[in-house]
């Protein structure tokens, strides 16, 4: 069995020397476990946080241990009568080709409903993040303006489309012209801004003539500083992610925005998708319906081969992905 372990804690931007590939004997499932063969594995920005030992909401990875994270696989051997050989499952066994996993930590995936890879994206963690963060905290109303940063990523593109379903004007911010074109041409965003090449301040003013009612923040940093200057009275600002800060060694200091929140009586609230676990079924049900009815589309950026895992992970920080970044490890 091949797996990827954390070799040392990254300083700043991680590189391949922070990880190691390791060969292990094939695990043997114990009582209550199944042996799974990984079909897809997920690489996610939050994993960067777990590679540090700074205190956070998720436990740090241990040096020398496999990188845990979302994966989809097929059961090869089972000790639990409710799981059969051939079943597709999703869990968090992470960056390894095979794993013996306790069935209590797994969810079955029905390959007849949607491609199994969607269990890691639109019908999984990133879709649910978009759904609850936007609807519970952002609460977009018809006619309002919603801005989403990281707009062409796994979470961001679903946020924008749900906001369109709710009747809002949607503006996406992303890092390439290919991405901004995709948002407006394929997903129906009203406007999209390339934060790397456009004059962000001027482009935002033009794209948001009536100000910003909801700002769904995936990135933080300079992009967010600019958007926040345009918030309206009673704006809502779900803080989902701050990827622009994840590789900084020193804390970032930004403009003091509290007076903007005060004078606009705005709500800024961080959230973790895991806090909505008791409502996942509700979210998955509605997302699946929208997907089936063609009201939302999703994109995946799939790299082929377990040996490409690190490249795929590091690419999240340079914006290689349009949509959910996945690694295909073996055939379905
Ligand atoms: P994405 O698919 O959005 O991938 C990351 C994207 O971030 C890249 O494609 C890149 O796009 C953009 N990016 C990278 N570096 C920067 C930077 N310095 N400034 C601006 N943009 C940057 O990932 P996810 O959809 O999985 O996650 C999006 C965000 O949501 C992350 O911050 C993540 O940590 C957070 N998250 C939070 C959860 C929660 O429970 N709160 C759950 C899941 C995710 P571009 O080309 O546009 O730069």
Query: What band does 222 get if pLDDT is binned at 50, 70 and 90?
Result: very high
Average pLDDT score, the chain: 97
- What is the mean pLDDT of the segment spanning 133-161? 98
Q: Among 266, 283, 286, which residue's Cα sits nearest to residue 275?
A: 283
Category of 118 on φ-ψ map: left (φ > 0), alpha (ψ -120 to 50) or beta: alpha
Ligand 1 pocket residue status of 46, Cβ below 6 Å? yes
Q: For residues 15 and 275, give the distance between their C-alpha atoms in angstroms, rounded to a whole number.
A: 31
**For ligand 1, what atom is nearest to the CA of residue 46?**
34
- Copy the structure tokens of residue 46: 């939050």
Our answer on whether the CB atom of 272 is closer than 6 Å to any ligand 1 atom is yes
Q: 319: CA distance to ligand 1 center in Å?
A: 8
Mutate which of 126, 150, 174 to test ligand 1's pocket (most atoms within 8 Å of Cβ)? 150
Rounded to an integer, what distance in angstroms lies between the CA atom of residue 79 and that of residue 48? 34
Q: Which of 122, 172, 162 is nearest to 140 (CA)?
A: 162
**Band of pLDDT at residue 54, cut at 50, 70 and 90:** confident
Q: How confident is the model at residue 205 (pLDDT cuts 50, 70, 90)?
A: very high
User: What's the CA-to-centroid distance between 223 and ligand 1, angstroms?
Assistant: 13
Q: What is the pLDDT of residues 58-70, one digit of tens each?
A: 899 999 999 999 9
State how beta strands 71-78 and 33-42 pair: antiparallel
pTM, 2 dp: 0.98
Quote the pLDDT of residue 251.
84
Atom of ligand 1 nearest to the CA of 243: 32
Q: Which domains are seen in the chain, by residue range? A: 2-121+299-328 (3.90.180.10), 125-274 (3.40.50.720)
State yes or no: pLDDT of 80 exceeds 90.
yes
Question: For the chain, what is the largest distance between any 2 Cα atoms, rounded to a whole number of angstroms?
Answer: 61
């Amino acid at each position: 069995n091949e797996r990827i372990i954390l070799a040392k804690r990254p300083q700043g931007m991680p590189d391949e020397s922070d990880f190691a590939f390791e060969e292990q004997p094939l695990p043997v499932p114990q009582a209550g476990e199944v042996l799974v063969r990984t079909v897809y594995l997920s690489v996610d920005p939050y994993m960067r946080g777990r590679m540090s030992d700074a205190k956070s909401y998720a436990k740090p990875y241990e040096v020398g241990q496999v990188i845990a994270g979302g994966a989809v696989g097929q059961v090869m051997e089972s000790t639990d009568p409710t799981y059969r050989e051939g079943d597709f499952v999703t869990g968090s066994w992470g960056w390894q080709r095979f794993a013996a996993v306790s069935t209590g930590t797994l969810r079955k995936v029905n390959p007849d409903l949607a491609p199994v890879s969607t269990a890691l994206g639109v019908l999984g963690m990133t879709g649910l993040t978009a759904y609850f963060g936007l609807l519970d905290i952002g609460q977009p109303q018809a006619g309002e303006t919603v801005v989403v940063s990281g707009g062409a990523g796994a979470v961001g593109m679903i946020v924008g489309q749900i906001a369109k379903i709710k009747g809002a004007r949607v503006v996406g911010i992303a890092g390439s012209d290919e991405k901004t074109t995709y948002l407006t041409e394929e997903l129906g965003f009203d406007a999209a801004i390339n934060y790397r090449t456009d004059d962000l301040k001027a482009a935002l003013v033009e794209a948001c003539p009536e100000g910003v009612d909801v700002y769904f923040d995936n990135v933080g940093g300079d992009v967010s500083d600019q958007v926040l200057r345009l918030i309206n009275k009673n704006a809502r600002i779900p803080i989902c992610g701050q990827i622009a800060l994840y590789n900084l060694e020193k804390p970032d200091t930004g403009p003091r925005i509290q007076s903007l929140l005060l004078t606009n009586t705005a709500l800024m609230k961080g959230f973790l998708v895991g806090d909505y676990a008791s409502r996942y079924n509700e979210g998955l049900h509605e997302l699946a319906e929208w997907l089936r009815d063609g009201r939302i589309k999703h994109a995946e950026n799939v790299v082929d081969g377990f040996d490409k895992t690190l490249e795929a992970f590091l690419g999240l920080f340079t914006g290689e992905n349009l949509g959910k970044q996945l690694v295909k490890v073996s055939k379905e």
